[in-house]
Chains A and B, each alone.
Chain A
Amino acid sequence: MRRKTGTLLEREGTRTVAASLISILIGLVVGSILIVIVGLISPNLGPSSIGDGIRLVLFGIVSTGRNAAGVLTWGFNPQNIGNMLFRATPLILTGLSVAVAFKTGLFNIGAPGQYLMGTMATLAIALGIPANAMPKPLLWLLAFLGGILAGALWGCIPGIVKAFLNINEVLACIMTNWIAANIVTWFFDATKVFQNTVENTKTSYIYKTTYGKTLVDGVWTYVEGNGVSTAKLGLDKLFPGSQVNGGFLIAILFAVGVYILMTKTTLGYQLKACGANRHSARYAGINDKRNIILSMAIAGALSGAGAALYYLAGNTEFFWSTYQSLPAIGFNGIPVALLAANNPIAVVFTGIFMSMLNIVGQQLRNLTAYNEYITDVIISVIVYLSAFSLVIKMFLTRRSKKGKETEPTPVKAAVPAAEPTAETVTAEPEVEGEEGGDKA
Chain B
Amino acid sequence: MEGENIIEMLHITKEFPGIIANDDITLQLRKGEIHALLGENGAGKSTLMSVLFGLYQPEKGIIKKNGEEVKIHSPNDATALGIGMVHQHFKLIDVFTVLDNIVLGAETTKLGFLQKKEARKKVEELSQRYGMKVDLDAKVEDITVGMQQRVEILKMLYRDNEILIFDEPTAVLTPQEIDELMATMKEFAKEGKSILFISHKLNEIMAVADRVTVLRKGKLVGTVNTKDTDKQSLSNMMVGRPVQLEVHKEPAKPGEVVLDVEGFSVPAKGHHKKDAVRDVSFQVRSGEIVCIAGIDGNGQTEFIHGLTGLDKAAGKVKLCGRDISHASIRERGENMSHIPEDRHKHGLVLDFTLEQNLVLQRFRETEFQHGGFIDQKAVRQYAEKLIDQYDVRSGQGPVTVARSMSGGNQQKAIIAREVDRNKPLVVAVQPTRGLDVGAIEYIHAQLVKERDAGKAILLVSLELDEVMSLSDRILVMYEGEIVGELDPKETTVQELGLYMAGAKRMNGKEGESA
Contact = CB atoms under 8 A, between A and B. Distances in A.
A108 B332 CA distance: 33
A406 interface: yes
A281 B16 contact: no
Interface stretch (A35-43, A123-131, A261-269): A261-269
B328 A285 contact: yes
Interface stretch (B108-116, B346-354, B430-438): B346-354
A265 B346 contact: no
B51 to A, nearest CB: 13
Contacts of B403: 410-411, 413
Interface string A371-415: 000000000000000000000000000000000111101110110
Contacts of B330: 285-287
A410 B401 CA distance: 9
27 contacts: A264-B373, A264-B376, A265-B373, A266-B372, A269-B356, A276-B350, A277-B350, A279-B345, A279-B346, A280-B345, A280-B360, A281-B349, A283-B308, A283-B310, A283-B347, A284-B333, A284-B361, A285-B328, A285-B329, A285-B332, A286-B330, A405-B59, A410-B403, A410-B404, A413-B350, A413-B403, A414-B351
A66 interface: no
Contacts of B335: none
A409 B328 CA distance: 37
A407 B17 contact: yes
Given A265-B373, A266-B372, A409-B404, 5 more contacts: A266-B369, A269-B363, A277-B349, A280-B346, A282-B329
B122 interface: no
A273 interface: yes
A276 B351 contact: yes
Interface in B353-380: 356, 360-361, 363-364, 369, 372-374, 376
A405 B329 CA distance: 45
A287 to B, nearest CB: 8
Interface string A253-277: 0000000000011110100110011
B15 interface: yes
A20 B369 CA distance: 35
Among A287, A407, A414, find the residue whose CB has the most chain B CB atoms closer than 10 A.
Answer: A407
A413 B352 CA distance: 10
B44 interface: no
Contacts of B361: 284-285
B396 to A, nearest CB: 12
Nearest to B328: A285
Contacts of B338: 283
Nearest to A414: B351
Contacts of A285: 328-330, 332-333, 361
B340 interface: yes
Nearest to B338: A283
Given A265-B373, A410-B404, A280 B347 contact: yes
Contacts of A282: 310, 329, 346
Interface residues of B, number: 35
B269 to A, nearest CB: 15
B352 A273 contact: yes
Interface of A: 264-267, 269, 272-273, 276-277, 279-287, 404-407, 409-411, 413-414
Interface of B: 15-17, 19, 59, 308, 310, 328-330, 332-333, 338, 340, 345-352, 356, 360-361, 363-364, 369, 372-374, 376, 401, 403-404
A405 B347 CA distance: 32
Contact of A280 (B59, B308, B348, B364): B348
B346 A269 contact: no
A413 B351 contact: yes
A277 B351 contact: yes
Contacts of A264: 373-374, 376
Contacts of B17: 404, 406-407
Contacts of B16: 406-407
A204 B15 CA distance: 68
Contacts of A410: 401, 403-404
Contact of A265 (B19, B333, B349, B374): B374
Contacts, number: 80
B378 to A, nearest CB: 13
A436 B346 CA distance: 46
Contacts of B345: 277, 279-280
B363 A266 contact: yes
Contacts of B360: 273, 280, 284
A212 B364 CA distance: 48
Among A272, A273, A280, A406, find the residue whose CB has the most chain B CB atoms closer than 10 A.
Answer: A280
A404 B59 CA distance: 11
A404 B16 CA distance: 9
A266 B333 contact: no
A413 to B, nearest CB: 4
A283 B329 contact: yes
A410 B352 CA distance: 13
Contacts of A272: 352
Given A265-B372, A266-B363, A283 B346 contact: yes
Contacts of A414: 351
B372 to A, nearest CB: 5
A437 B376 CA distance: 51
Contacts of B364: 266
Given A266-B373, A285-B361, A276 B352 contact: yes
A274 to B, nearest CB: 9
A282 B328 CA distance: 10
A406 B352 CA distance: 22
A128 B314 CA distance: 54
B21 to A, nearest CB: 9
Contacts of B356: 269, 273
A276 B373 contact: no
B351 A266 contact: no
Closest 4 CB pairs of A and B: A285-B330, A407-B16, A283-B346, A284-B360
Contacts of B404: 409-410
A285 B327 CA distance: 11
B333 A280 contact: no
A258 B478 CA distance: 51
A236 B220 CA distance: 73
A279 B404 CA distance: 19
Contacts of B350: 276-277, 413
A420 B302 CA distance: 35
A284 B356 CA distance: 12
A257 to B, nearest CB: 13
Contacts of B347: 280, 283
Contacts of A267: 372
Nearest to A267: B372
A95 B403 CA distance: 29
Among A267, A269, A276, A404, find the residue whose CB has the most chain B CB atoms closer than 10 A.
Answer: A269
A258 B360 CA distance: 22
